[in-house]
Amino acid sequence: MQHIIVADRQVLINQLNERLHHEFSSKIAFDAKIPKVEYQLTKLAKSLLPVIGNLGK
């Protein structure tokens, strides 16, 4: 994600943690030599996508 979004690392971490706090995303940490973390949208977040999409119309 850091390669896609040009933003300060701390801003990105804060935004991801906020989404976790509000249960809009879930976090999966992989135990490996090089730490890896993946984020996924929760059912709650997926259910809000149509509403969010209509906000721009």
The per-residue pLDDT for 45 is 95
Rounded to two decimals, what is the model's pTM?
A: 0.68
Six token digits for residue 11: 């801003």
Six token digits for residue 13: 């971490």
Three-state DSSP state, 29 = strand
Encode pLDDT of 2-44 as tens digits.
556 566 878 888 999 999 999 999 999 999 899 899 999 999 9
Position 1 pLDDT exceeds 60: no
The per-residue pLDDT for 10 is 80
The per-residue pLDDT for 8 is 80
The per-residue pLDDT for 30 is 93
40: closest CA among 14, 20, 13, 22? 20
